[in-house]
Amino acid sequence: CPPAPTLSLDPDINLNSPNKGLGPAGGVDSLTDVSGKGGAMAVAAVNTLPPGLTEEEAEELRSELVKVEEEVNTLRQVLLAKEKHSADLKRKLGLSPLNELKQNLSKGWQDVQTSNA
């Protein structure tokens, strides 16, 4: 008998990655994708319930998880669009990352000079 299948966590832990939390194809790698990925083995993994959790409760949790993951993906898309718009506005204003760094360092240095420390 083969070992029991396990659900793997997403390996992308780079917090700066725009794809963090997304599966390898950019989609959500979650219980919602199980039906098309692993056949009977994946279904067996989903049907294994933690102690004290009924099938109905598990189904409610899965449904809520799907909704939350969809919301997270929507928010990521909105954030990405806003970051692109912000970068475009900065480019039009002539604000480069180097200029921003210079301004931040200059302001920081002024703050240090005027502080009581």
Give the three-class secondary structure for 117: coil
Residue 7 has pLDDT above 80, yes or no: no
Say which residues have a Cβ less than 8 Å from residue 13's Cβ, sequence separation at least 6.
20
111 vs 14: which has the higher pLDDT: 111
How much is the average pLDDT of 41-51? Answer: 65
* pLDDT tens sequence across 62-106: 999 999 999 999 999 999 999 999 999 998 998 888 888 888 999
**pTM (two decimals):** 0.46
How much is the average pLDDT of 54-63? Answer: 95
Beta carbons of 5 and 44 less than 8 angstroms apart: yes
Report the distance separating Cα 46 and Cα 6, nearest Å: 9
